[in-house]
Amino acid sequence: RAAEAWEARFGEARTRCGHRVEVAANLGNTAHAADAVARGAEGIGLLRTEFLFMAHAHEPDLDTQVGEYREALDALDGRPLVARTLDVGGDKPLPYWPMPKEDNPFLGLRGIRLALTRPEVLETQLRALLMAAAPADESGKAPAAGVTEKARPLRIMLPMVKDIGEFRAARAIVDRLLAEIPEAERATDLQLGVMVEVPSSALLAASLADEVDFFSVGTNDLTQYTLAIDRDHPELSAQADGLHPAVLRLIEMTVAAAHARGKWVGVCGELASDATAVPVLVGLGVDELSVSARQVPLVKARLREFDLAEARDQAALALAQATSEAVRDALEVR
Ligand code: PEP
Ligand code: MG
């Protein structure tokens, strides 16, 4: 029984028929990485690095950032870290970055757009991530000569990307850093991907998929921007349901474009932990679900309840509906 409990918690997440779907944790603080692993997370699927910038009176310097990211990678012990670059601006201002007042902050300088106006800050963050993921020995320190190295898989994810132009601008910085930092002192297992949370990036997923290594769908913002409903609106936010067929079609397009080019797709928005949505997302072909650490065991258990054929039926049924209410009615009745 103890072995069963261990397997339920730490075993790979698979559907009943054995189809693999990774379950990772969303984290807002590197100090919580060990707890996520203890709850069975197979990696961190979204590290919201904003915490690091909000917690200080000024931008954290390179050493501070390396220390923080290393803490997460140490706790992960070889599991992948998907770290999102700074996603502030708009409704999430940084006190030490004077920003022009905007009438529509959700449509303003935020995410990658803002980061590209301060390339030196983005560069420091990227450098810190690359350095923190240098191969380490058992002690977590850079290995001495001849000691077996343990890979520290790093996936860097760019927020609020609307098209390939922003991705290329950020990739140019990463490429320059990779050429500059000696190989032994930086990540060797690296992927660079984008969040899909602006509808244009889903519509243009085929163009992005030629160059990105992966996608992670941020259903919170993707729903907000697709339905034109403020995700925090006191009256309307209940209508901002990620199970809306329009949002599901954008996810479907993203997966089709990504898989055609051998790239993977995760979902890191709230929808990934919705019990009704889990089979739909799996049926749409999503490869990874990233949810709050607390929900990792629940999502793993949910995945083990259905098989892939059922999930595909649920996805087809959902896509055939005209409203989110109809989707929930169709799926929840069963
Ligand atoms: C999202 O938009 O779905 C997402 C995961 O990012 P955040 O909630 O941090 O905006
Ligand atoms: Mg978002």
Report phi then psi at 143, rounded to 5.
Answer: -70, 145
> Largest Cα–Cα distance in the chain?
61
**pLDDT 10s digit of each residue in the chain, 334 long?**
899 999 999 999 999 999 999 999 999 999 999 999 999 999 999 999 999 999 888 999 999 999 999 999 999 999 999 999 999 987 788 888 888 889 998 999 999 999 999 999 999 999 999 999 998 755 555 555 555 567 899 999 999 999 999 999 999 999 999 999 999 999 999 999 999 999 999 999 999 999 999 999 999 999 999 999 998 899 998 899 999 999 999 999 999 999 999 999 999 999 999 999 999 999 999 999 999 999 999 999 999 999 999 999 999 999 999 999 999 999 986 5
The answer to whether 269 and 217 have CB atoms below 8 angstroms apart is yes
pLDDT score of 139: 54
Tokens representing 277 are: 């949505």
218 lines ligand 1 (CB under 6 A): yes
pLDDT score of 95: 84
Tokens representing 45 are: 């699927």
User: H or E element: which one contains 217?
Assistant: strand 214-217
Cα separation, 106 vs 127, in Å, equals 28
Q: Which of 216, 221, 243, 291 to mutate to test the pocket of ligand 1 (most atoms within 8 A of CB)?
A: 221
The answer to whether 114 and 158 have CB atoms below 8 angstroms apart is no
Q: Whole-model pTM above 0.90?
A: yes
pLDDT score of 146: 53
Q: How far is the CA of 269 from the centre of ligand 1 (A)?
A: 6
111 lines ligand 1 (CB under 6 A): no
To which residue do tokens 């800050």 refer? 121
80 lines ligand 1 (CB under 6 A): no
pLDDT score of 214: 98
Q: Give the Å distances, CA to CA, from 226 to 55, 196, 247.
A: 31, 12, 7
Cα separation, 150 vs 109, in Å, equals 39
Cα separation, 290 vs 92, in Å, equals 22
pLDDT score of 1: 85
Closest CA to 328 of 288, 274, 287: 274
To which residue do tokens 């992960």 refer? 76
Report phi then psi at 150, rounded to 5.
Answer: -110, 125
Question: Nearest residue CA, atom 3 of ligand 1?
Answer: 218
Length of the chain: 334
28 lines ligand 1 (CB under 6 A): no
Closest CA to 247 of 329, 324, 303: 324
The answer to whether 87 and 151 have CB atoms below 8 angstroms apart is no
DSSP label at residue 239: G
Cα separation, 26 vs 292, in Å, equals 5
DSSP one-letter string for 155-190: EEEETT--SHHHHHHHHHHHHHHHHHS-GGGS-SSE
Cα separation, 97 vs 300, in Å, equals 40
| pLDDT tens digits, one per residue of 1-32 | 899 999 999 999 999 999 999 999 999 999 99
Q: How far is the CA of 87 from the centre of ligand 1 (A)?
A: 9
Closest CA to 52 of 131, 121, 136: 121
Cα separation, 108 vs 90, in Å, equals 6
Cα atoms in the Cβ-side hemisphere of radius 13 Å centred on 149: 19
pLDDT score of 144: 56
Cα separation, 45 vs 268, in Å, equals 7
Q: How far is the CA of 221 from the centre of ligand 1 (A)?
A: 6
